Every structure is written in structure tokens, then in C-alpha cells.
Amino acid sequence: MLAKRIIPCLDVRDGHTVKGIKFVDIRLVGDPVELGAAYALQGADELVFLDITASHEGRKTFVGLVRRIALHLNIPFTVGGGISELNDIEALLSAGADKVSINSAAIRDPDLIDKMALNFGSQFVVVAIDAFEKDGKWEAYINGGRIPTGRELFSWAKEAEDRGAGEILFTSMNHDGTRNGFACGTIAELSDTLSIPVIASGGAGTMEHFRDVFTAGKADAGLAASIFHYNEISVPQLKAYLYAQGISVRI
């Protein structure tokens, strides 16, 4: 059995790590370079950096900041935000990214997924989907959760896989920042629909929530921000708990 991955996430705005609730009520958290280095030392399996306003502001990801963070890491590093063409990806690779996450650009230009997979390999391509559930239907949003797209979650995730995505990073906008648990039923359905790994995001508040998303939710990785940023749960604590629960993790 492949080990489940624990992934802290750095949501970055204007060079600072921030965190919100349901994609609003954004608050400053800390310096992304220092936080990234700390999580690597703690034994996080990967680190995700998301420039959360780049697409909305129509600009590129802060490559210089990505480079500064990467210098302190010895774990896989995924970068997303403001990516719209292959040149953006090459710049991030040169800056130290191991994988690139695309969200808004993928929906606006699905062929970009094919091009990324062809040029860099599927293992490099993470398609992020921010979706909101209303009346039992999940709709994908872009521009940091600001714009509904009419794209249904499961069909879009399957299309992304068929085009060459190596992983899906699914964030439930309904659960984001609430600390009430992941959308386990939806994540399990995604995992059953796809043959590529699913990274679960949105709603982590306790160690039990990670246990549930890895068992009932069938997720391959669990991503969280605030519980790590505010030192409520450390990565070593979480891994020790999951190991005791019989869940395969890298200790």
C-alpha cells in the first residue's frame, strides 16, 4: 500500500502566507519561506504553494519567492497561481518547483493540460479544482473561488485525467477553513471515478479528520493550512496518530 501523504499548504498573497474561511475573511499568517522550511524539517511529505490572487489580478506567480522557498526544501514542491502558458511552467521549474498546479487556466484552456503532460510528463501536472456544492451539485469555480464556470466536478476531473493530469487537488469551498472535516463522501466518489491520486483539501481541523479522509474518503493525500500554521497539530504528531490507527504514512 502506498503511504498516505501529509501536505501543508502555503496560500500566498502579496508575498505573505494567508488563510481564509470559505475563500473569504483572509488573514495574515506568516512568512512563507520560514513556514516552508519548518514543514520540511517536521517531515511533511510535500509542500504546496498557491499564489491565490495571481489569476484574479491577471499576473504571473512570484517566481523570486518560489525560488527563495525552494532553497530551503528537501521535499517535493508544488506551485500554482497565475500559470497560463508553457513559459510560465519553465520559469517555475527553473526556480525549484517539482510540480505545477493549474486551475483557472485549465478550465479556460483545457488543451494546456495536454501540452504540459506532453512537454513535462503527467507526473508534473496537478489540476486543482475548487468546487462549491449547492442542491447536491458540485460546480467548479476559478479565480480563487470568485467565478462559477458551469463545469461539473466529476466530469471535469475525469476530463483532466484523460488529458494527462497526474493528480487532482480537490478543494471543497463549502468546507474550506471551517475545520469541520473534509468532504469525505465527495472525495471518495472522486477517488472511485479516477485512476490518478486525489489530494483532499478543505475542512481539516483534527487528526481524526485526516483518519476519516484516508479511510472513508479514500484520499491519497491530505492537505491543510491553518491547523499547521497555528501550531495546533504538528506533522510528526499527526503521522504518529495515523500510524497508530493503522494508516500507512512515512514516519
Instruction: Give me the residue spans of the domains in the chain.
Output: 5-244
Of the listed 45, 88, 130, 212, which one is catalytic?
130
pLDDT of residue 25 exceeding 70? no
Active site residue 11: yes
pLDDT at position 30: 78
In this predicted structure, the answer to whether residue 219 has a pLDDT above a threshold of 90 is: yes
Q: What is the pLDDT of residues 167-217, one digit of tens each?
A: 999 999 999 888 999 999 999 999 999 999 999 999 999 999 999 999 999
**98 an active-site residue?**
no
Specify the pLDDT at position 52.
Answer: 62
Query: Which residue of the set 11, 88, 176, 220 is catalytic?
Result: 11
Q: Which helix (H) or strand (E) holds 131?
A: strand 125-134
What's the rounded Cα separation, in Å, for the pair 159 and 110?
9
Angle between helices 235-244 and 207-215 (to 10 degrees): 50
Query: Considering the chain, what is the average pLDDT of its residues?
Result: 91
Which CATH fold would you assign to the domain 5-244? TIM Barrel (3.20.20)
Condensed to tens digits (0 to 9), the pLDDT of residues 230-250 reads: 889 999 999 999 999 999 999
